[in-house]
Amino acid sequence: MKKKQTMEQLLVHILLILICVISLLPFLSMVSTSFMKVKGVLPNEPIIFPKLPLYTKNYVKVWFSGHFQTYFLNTVIVTAGGVFINLFVSVTMAYSFAKFKFPGKEFLFNILLLTMMIPAQLAMISQYTVLNGLHLIDDYKGIWLLWGGTCAAGSTFFYRGFFEAIPRELEESMYLDGASRLQTLLHCIIPLSKPAIATQVVFALNGYWSNLFDILTFTKSMNKRTLSVALQLFRGQHTTEFGRLFAASTIVILPNILLFILFQKQFIKQGLTEGAVKE
Amino acid sequence: MREQSFSRRFKKGIREWILVIPFLLIGTVLFILFVLYPQIKNIYISFTNYSIMPGAKNEFVGLANYRKIFTDIHVKGSDAYFFWMAFRNNILAILITVPGQLILGLLVAVFIHNLRFGKNIYKILLYIAVICDWVVFCNIVDYIFQPDNGSLVNYILTSIGILKQPVSWLKNTWTANFVIWFCSIWKGFGWVMIIYTAGLQGIPMDRYEAAKVDGANNVQMFWYITVPGLKATTFYLLINLINGAMNIFIQVFLLTKGDPIGTTDVVMDYVYRRAFNYFEFGYAASCGLVMGGVVFILSMFLKKYLRYGQDE
């Protein structure tokens, strides 16, 4: 019996390793290419591992050329603000829908859902006029407010289920102790939803870090540009300079991957609610 | 009597609103300002020939923009022809990428969930494609699908004998469509996997233990406990993935731009180019709304048959 289980585990590991290799091979190829002098026609065999010694000039050129460092800092600022407002809006909204009773609740929720079904990019023209009216074009405050609005529907939908799954008994015992709605949210709902919140934060970080179209449309000046936008411009100018293109690309995704690995620890905390109400 | 109960209900409603408003207000205002209002304005735009130039007259043209979508559908090169071609590609994308992501994501999630060690490392590795910047991701896809002998995909497929000669993937209709679907599945299934592993954690372990006592095998437990236990999660994913497939955009925008002659185009890319390259905002808005209507009906249909939030 035990032997059979071990075999099963081994088989699953082999399958998963295979899937990972297939999924990651192109990324390895990208990183390897970034350490080589590849320009114009590709070599006859795909680049999986770089030739030694590593050719690091691509990175030096990218990092010190143009305004790469400014773009990097801009991306950090815009992402941090975006994640903050996303978290604030989605937790408060989802709490309202999951734990309150008020007339028109389902109606409002259905409107939220309804807007999710409509292509988001289309609203850009009208969003531009709204931001323009608020004098927030070319201003990160405008981008943050916009993201606060656009995240509302999706993340409310996402969190509502998690919040509703939290047993009523827990909150009721807090109310009996005289806790307010806000205290219940801060000391009961949020701690118990950490895995869900961590998930949402990862998605928000990822989305805002790589956002292309919002930044492209709602900022004007070069010194407001972020990495994705800069990379897109670079790609247009140097189509076949794969070495340099991928050096820039690697720098762009590296922080994203590091952040994700850091968040992973919080992300895995599981079964919090399961342990909380055991008869 | 009836009036009194109405006023009592009204007062109760007001009290409930006063309780909830501190939590609801900011999100709702931002939502109305940046999502609801722009979408409604969008409907107005679709009935005009709208111009973003300041001071321009936005003439009301009635249904003219919509009529354009439905006339000469079969005439090659007409506006309607290209719209419905793009629409067809969205439908194909739903039929291929949604099941692809769901099945792959669920299988991998179940595999990972049942591991005794090493769960996190697989999650992290398989999530790299998801968190990857779209621009970077498309650069990579472009690179591995280059027409040369030495591009990763051509090299592997010719070495194992599936292809006789290298293919110019992005230059032909169906191979280019394949690359677009490949992008969606490769980049999407990791997200599906993460959501499913979160969902799997919500299924109480004692159900599995009880089933084991009753002598159920792995496959039975998968069908009778795991799948029903994930119903709400699956519904959430389905809505999102279908929505995603209807909104496929950035990989088309960055990789094919709809070429050859619109046969790999999708509605969002078509709409975007008509709006921002040709400045036909009215027509673009009406195309987007037709698409929005279709997605909406589809989602309502799903909602009716799958019932959100009822797990058992």
- Domain assignment present for residue A15? The answer is no
Give the pLDDT band of residue A42 (cuts 50, 70, 90).
Answer: confident
Q: Which residues lie across from B48 on neighbouring strands?
A: B60
Give the position of tokens 């609103």.
Answer: B17
End-to-end CA distance of chain A: 32
Question: Is it the case that residue B54 has pLDDT exceeding 60?
Answer: yes
Question: Is it the case that residue B311 has pLDDT exceeding 60?
Answer: no
In this prediction, residue B280 carries a pLDDT of: 79
In this prediction, residue B16 carries a pLDDT of: 83
Cβ <8 Å between B114 and A42: no
Cβ <8 Å between B129 and A128: no
Question: Which of A140-144, B172-176, B268-272 shows the highest mean pLDDT?
Answer: A140-144
Q: What is the mean pLDDT of residues B83-98?
A: 91
Question: 3-class DSSP state for residue B122?
Answer: helix
Residue B144 structure tokens = 């591995």
Cβ <8 Å between B130 and A24: no
% chain A with pLDDT above 90? 12
Q: Chain A residue closest to B295 (CA)? A: A117
In this prediction, residue A50 carries a pLDDT of: 76
Cβ <8 Å between A117 and B35: no
Q: A212-244 b/e with 16+ CB inside 10 Å = b?
A: bbbbebbbeeeebbbbbbbbbebbeeeeebbbb
Whole-number mean pLDDT of chain A?
Answer: 81
In this prediction, residue B59 carries a pLDDT of: 77
Q: B265-297 b/e with 16+ CB inside 10 Å = b?
A: bbbbbbbbbbbbeeebbbbbbbbbbbbbebbbe
DSSP A239: T
Using alpha carbons, list the distances in angstroms from residue A87 to A149, A171, B131, B163, B268: 12, 21, 18, 49, 28
Cβ–Cβ < 8 Å for A219, A225: yes
In this prediction, residue B118 carries a pLDDT of: 81
**CA nearest neighbour of A150 among B247, B35, B33:** B35
Q: Residue B101 and residue B195: Cα distance in Å, rounded?
A: 12
Spell out which residues of chain B touch residue A20, defining contact as CB-CB under 8 Å: 122, 125-126
In this prediction, residue A279 carries a pLDDT of: 24
Name the least confident of A88-102, B49-63, B99-113, B236-250.
B49-63
Cβ <8 Å between A235 and B136: no
Q: Residue B157 and residue B154: Cα distance in Å, rounded?
A: 5
Cβ <8 Å between B37 and A92: no
Give the pLDDT band of residue B192 (cuts 50, 70, 90).
Answer: confident
Cβ–Cβ < 8 Å for A214, A146: yes
Quick one: which H or E segment has residue A190?
helix A190-192
Cβ <8 Å between B34 and A150: yes
Of A24, A26, A103, the CB nearest to B125: A24
Identify which has the larger pLDDT, A45 or A87.
A87
Question: 3-class DSSP state for residue B49?
Answer: strand
In this prediction, residue B31 carries a pLDDT of: 92
Cβ–Cβ < 8 Å for B184, B190: no
**CA nearest neighbour of B98 among B174, B189, B176:** B189
What is the CATH number for A235? 1.10.3720.10
**B58 shares contact with chain A (CB less than 8 Å):** no
In this prediction, residue B52 carries a pLDDT of: 67
Burial of A195 (0-12, 13-18, 19+ CB in 10 A): buried
- Domain assignment present for residue A20? The answer is no
Cβ <8 Å between B135 and A228: yes
Cβ–Cβ < 8 Å for B260, B171: yes
**B84 shares contact with chain A (CB less than 8 Å):** no
Question: 3-class DSSP state for residue B60?
Answer: strand
In this prediction, residue B100 carries a pLDDT of: 93
How many Å lie between the alpha carbon of A161 and the closest alpha carbon of chain B? 7
Q: Chain A residue closest to B190 (CA)? A: A23
- Domain assignment present for residue A6? The answer is no
* Sequential DSSP letters for A82-109: HHHHHHHHHHHHHHHHHH---TTHHHHH
Residue B293 structure tokens = 């209507």
Of B52, B133, B284, the CB nearest to A228: B133
**B168 shares contact with chain A (CB less than 8 Å):** no
How many Å lie between the alpha carbon of B307 and the closest alpha carbon of chain A? 13
What size, in residues, is chain B? 312
Which of A126, A155, A241 would best serve as a mutation to test chain B binding (most B beta carbons within 10 A)?
Answer: A126
pTM of the model: 0.77
Question: Which of A168-177, B94-103, B282-291 shows the highest mean pLDDT?
Answer: B94-103
Spell out which residues of chain B touch residue A152, defining contact as CB-CB under 8 Å: 27-28, 30-31, 35
DSSP A180: -
Give the position of tokens 């673009």.
Answer: B284
Cβ <8 Å between A12 and B128: no
pLDDT tens track for B200-233: 887 888 888 888 888 888 888 888 888 888 887 8
What size, in residues, is chain A? 279
Whole-number mean pLDDT of chain B?
Answer: 83
In this prediction, residue A273 carries a pLDDT of: 29
- Domain assignment present for residue A132? The answer is yes
Contacts of residue B201, Cβ cutoff 8 Å, sequence gap at least 6? A195, A270, A271, B113
ipTM of the modeled complex: 0.80
- Domain assignment present for residue A47? The answer is no
Q: Residue A273 and residue B286: Cα distance in Å, rounded?
A: 47
Q: What is the mean pLDDT of residues A110-119?
A: 78
Give residue A185's domain range. 61-276
- Domain assignment present for residue A187? The answer is yes
Spell out which residues of chain B touch residue A269, defining contact as CB-CB under 8 Å: none
How many Å lie between the alpha carbon of A181 and the closest alpha carbon of chain B? 9
- State the amino acid at position B64 in one-letter form: A
Cβ <8 Å between B268 and A119: yes
Spell out which residues of chain A touch residue B32, defining contact as CB-CB under 8 Å: 149
Of B116, B133, B155, the CB nearest to A256: B133
Question: Is it the case that residue A268 has pLDDT exceeding 60?
Answer: no
In this prediction, residue A236 carries a pLDDT of: 74
Q: Chain A residue closest to B43 (CA)? A: A123
Cβ <8 Å between B134 and A212: yes
Cβ–Cβ < 8 Å for A138, A224: yes
Q: What are phi and psi of A94, to 5 degrees?
A: -65, -35
Longest dimension (CA), chain B: 85
Number of folded domains in chain A?
A: 1
> What's the CA angle centered on A141, arms B282 and A81, to 5 degrees?
115
- State the amino acid at position A250 in one-letter form: T
Question: Is it the case that residue A26 has pLDDT exceeding 80?
Answer: yes
pLDDT tens track for A150-208: 888 888 887 888 888 888 888 888 888 888 888 888 888 888 888 778 777 877 887 88
Of B30, B122, B271, the CB nearest to A148: B30
Question: Is it the case that residue A261 has pLDDT exceeding 80?
Answer: no
- Domain assignment present for residue A7? The answer is no
- Domain assignment present for residue A39? The answer is no
pLDDT tens track for B139-151: 899 888 888 877 8
Pairing between β-strand B59-60 and β-strand B48-49 as defined by DSSP bridges: antiparallel
Q: Which residues lie across from B59 on neighbouring strands?
A: B49
Residue A5 structure tokens = 């289980």
Q: Can the peptide bond before residue A53 be classed as cis, meaning omega within 30 degrees of 0?
A: yes
Q: Residue A5 and residue A10: Cα distance in Å, rounded?
A: 9
Q: Chain B residue closest to A92 (CA)? A: B23
Q: Chain B residue closest to A17 (CA)? A: B122
How many Å lie between the alpha carbon of A93 and the closest alpha carbon of chain B? 5
Name the least confident of A185-189, A274-278, B266-270.
A274-278
Cβ–Cβ < 8 Å for B232, B311: yes
Q: Which residues lie across from B49 on neighbouring strands?
A: B59
Q: A257-275 b/e with 16+ CB inside 10 Å = b?
A: bebbeeebeebeeeeebee
Spell out which residues of chain A touch residue B115, defining contact as CB-CB under 8 Å: 9, 12-13, 16
Cβ <8 Å between B120 and A264: yes
In this prediction, residue A244 carries a pLDDT of: 84
The region that residue A206 occupies, defined by phi over 0 for left and psi between -120 and 50 for alpha, beta otherwise, is alpha
Question: Is it the case that residue A46 has pLDDT exceeding 80?
Answer: no
Q: What is the mean pLDDT of residues A63-91?
A: 89
Q: Chain A residue closest to B195 (CA)? A: A199
pLDDT tens track for A199-256: 778 778 878 888 888 888 888 888 888 888 888 888 777 767 788 888 888 888 887 7
Q: Residue A232 and residue B296: Cα distance in Å, rounded?
A: 32
